[in-house]
A and B are shown apart, each in its own frame.
Chain A
Amino acid sequence: MELRAYIVRRLLLLIPVLFGVTLFIFGLTMLFSPIERASLYVRSPRQMANIPEIIETYGLDRPFYVQYGTWINQVFHGNLGWSTVAHMPVLDAIWAFLPATLELAIFCTPIIILAGIFLGTQAAAHKDKPIDHVSRVAAIAGWSLPTFWLGLVLLMVFYGAFNGLLPPDRLGHQMSIVVNSGDFVRYTHINTLDAILNLNGPVLVDALRHLILPVATLSIVSVAFIMRLTRSSMLESLGKGYILTARAKGLAERVVVNKHARRNALIPVITVSGYVFAGLANGVVITETIFTFKGVGWWEAQAALRLDIASILGFALFNAGLFVLINLIVDILYTRVDPRVRLGGVMQ
């Protein structure tokens, strides 16, 4: 099968999954009374004043399938309801909070992947040596750490004991004023990127200062996973015949490990990048809450606490869509990286 046919097939397979996802989310909303559900349809607080009209307009007392049709139609038109926490429509809120989360992800992802692969390779190349044992214990401890607790402890030390060295929030008070002044153009709302584009050194330094702890928290918890996976995949690949051949040819150990073994060992690592994304999506909720780093995760946690149903469900829907898409991209990448993977193969 050709790549294009494969992609089309995968996209078609997505339809039932996404249909199920929307059906499930809509089913959850049915646990609420029509009055509570009204917030899923309104676009401004003024509309909330006239709830009977909304119930009438959107048929909130009609049968399930009729309501589902109305709701999915609204979703396709970009109306996910009104977020009482953000004081704006849910979709606008997602776009407003996304840059902060994106900024975290931009810094975390390379750290997690590169550090994970590097440490995993080292552990496998020195199996049963001290470096292997240390990295193993560190990895197990890393994924046993409660993210929220790690964040609090880091804050306690670097914000408390070091007298405000690495503070919470996205920017200090002064720099927020600079950023929101007319002279500073907000191209992307990603602070570090905007600071570079505006050639503003102090804002860049301040933004980085606020990023260190959240990025460290997210990375420490996630790096263990990639590292352990690289290690076991490397061990498997190091036992193969072509490694023996490479060594017999007299190649330097570094070349054998980095070129012959690692290139083949990386294939399973690519396939789990989807999990890395899921881990980040879960992690940002906690991390952003602790560091009041106001991104989508922070907003989500606030919404959950204040029973802002429209935000919670809209965000879950958004995440499911994104997650499914990322998994698709990973699968396609996989076929490019490993020519042995036959496109027509059975999909689980």
Chain B
Amino acid sequence: MTDLRFMVRQLVRNPLSLAGIILIFIFAVIAIFAPLIAPTPAGHGDPYMIPRDGFSATPALPSQQHLFGTTEGQYDIFYGVVWGTRSAFRVGLVVIGVVVVIGIVLGSIAGYFGGVIDEVIMRITDIFLAFPALILAMALVTVMQPSLTSVMIALIVVSWPSYARLIRGDILQVREEDYIEASRGLGASNARVIIRHALPNAIYPTLIMASLDIGAVVLSAAALSFLGLGAPEGYADWGQLTAFARNWIVGPSSDPLRYWFAVAIPGLFILFFVLGWNLLGDAFRDILDPRLARR
């Protein structure tokens, strides 16, 4: 655990990773207190559906009533980005959570037992890794009918193979260690050896890196949403809010940047959210990289 304390100290001392921690913290606060920051109007049904103020297509400038203005279809941008934070966390956490579990189970089985099982699992990962990720995800979402759930399932399907491989590699490294042999010699079951001895010694770095992939997952989900393959229309989702602004990147000729807020604000939320995770991830990579450890 001294390792952990050392790691935390390194992270807080580095201005970049500290900025990452602060960003993630701010987004977590926004997500938790969404009902207070952007209260759902009385009589409005599902809080995740953005309230509309009329049906006109033209975005309305920021005002007292709509802090960040409204986008195409009079969806309130402020409400959308605040509640969209919850959608982002949900997509990221669910996808990474499931993927890590699948990766641990299949990766440790493949790495620990080796032989035919390993070969079969690795050839299956080959099949999934033969596709560029976004293209496979698009095909899957299309086949399953576009929805937020389809997006999450598609992202799980395209991301589990890399994790299974990483964790398999970690397990392979410790498989021949003496303490594994010792525990086997004492008559421990395979499951016990894997769970108690192999995993704890092998996968912490992988797990940390995986959790920091939340940013990348949210980025892919936003891209799918932007293409119209995500949440239903009006759902609080950053990718969709950006898509609403597509027709408004050029304002009237007298004021070409008139609707900048509809384009910029949802995108900035995505950017800073992903940036937070990546800043932290980059610092971790340096701390965990054994080749750079002594420099």
Taking CB atoms, residues of chain A closer than 8 Å to B223 are 146-148, 286
Is the C-beta of A282 less than 8 angstroms from some C-beta in chain B? yes
In the complex, what residues of A have CB within 8 A of residue B205's CB? Answer: none
Chain A neighbourhood of B257, CB < 8 A: 156, 160-161
Instruction: Select the residue from A20, A32, A156, A289 with max chain B CB neighbours within 10 A.
Output: A156
A319 at the A/B interface (Cβ < 8 Å)? yes
Cβ contacts under 8 Å, A21 to chain B: 127, 130-131
A130 CB within 8 Å of chain B: no
The answer on a CB contact under 8 Å between A148 and B138 is: no
CB of A55 closer than 8 Å to a CB of B: no
B85 is an interface residue with CB less than 8 A from chain A:
no
Interface residue from B124, B135, B242, B266 paired with A282 (Cβ < 8 Å):
B135
State how many angstroms separate the Cβ of B229 from the closest Cβ of chain A. Answer: 6
Q: Is the interface of A mostly helix, strand, loop or mixed?
A: helix
Among residues of A, the one whose C-beta sits closest to the C-beta of B291 is A236
**A152 lies within 8 A of chain B by Cβ:** yes
Q: Does A257 sit within 8 A of B, measured CB to CB?
A: no
CB-CB under 8 A from A305, the residues of chain B are: 227-229
Dominant SS among interface residues on chain B: helix
* A interface size (C-beta, 8 A): 57
Given A161-B256, A285-B138, A348-B122: A148 and B242 interface contact (C-beta under 8 Å) = yes
- Closest beta carbon of chain B to A27's beta carbon, Å: 10
CB nearest to A318 among chain B residues: B135
Task: State A153–B264 Cα separation when bound (angstroms).
Answer: 7
Determine if B289 is an interface residue (Cβ-Cβ < 8 Å): yes
Q: Complex Cα distance A146/B245, Å? A: 15
Bits for A313-336, please: 1 = Cβ < 8 Å to B, else 0: 101100110011000000000000
B5 → A minimal CB distance (Å): 24
- Whether the pair A313, B123 counts as a contact (CB closer than 8 A) is no
A320 and B131 contact, CB distance less than 8 A: yes
| Distance between Cα atoms of A24 and B126 in the complex (Å) | 12
The answer to whether A278 and B132 touch across the interface, beta carbons within 8 angstroms, is yes
Interface residues on B, range: 35 or more
Q: By the criterion CB–CB under 8 Å, are A146 and B124 in contact?
A: no
Given contacts A232-B289, A305-B228, A312-B138, contact A149 B271 (CB under 8 A): yes
CB distance from A307 to the nearest CB of B (A): 6
Contact of A137 among B16, B215, B250 (CB under 8 A): B16
A301 located at the interface, meaning its Cβ lies under 8 Å from any Cβ of chain B in the complex: yes
**Are B135 and A285 closer than 8 Å at their CB atoms?**
yes
CB–CB A285/B227 < 8 A: yes
- 15 A-B contacts (beta carbon < 8 Å): A17-B126, A21-B127, A24-B127, A136-B16, A143-B278, A144-B278, A152-B267, A155-B250, A156-B250, A156-B263, A161-B256, A304-B138, A323-B131, A324-B130, A348-B165
The 4 A-B residue pairs whose C-beta atoms are closest, nearest first, are A149-B267, A20-B127, A282-B134, A281-B132
Q: Which residues of A contact B (CB under 8 A)?
A: 16-18, 20-21, 24-25, 28, 31-32, 136-137, 140-141, 143-149, 152-153, 155-156, 159-161, 163, 232, 235-236, 239, 277-278, 281-282, 285-286, 289-290, 300-301, 303-305, 307, 309, 312-313, 315-316, 319-320, 323-324, 348
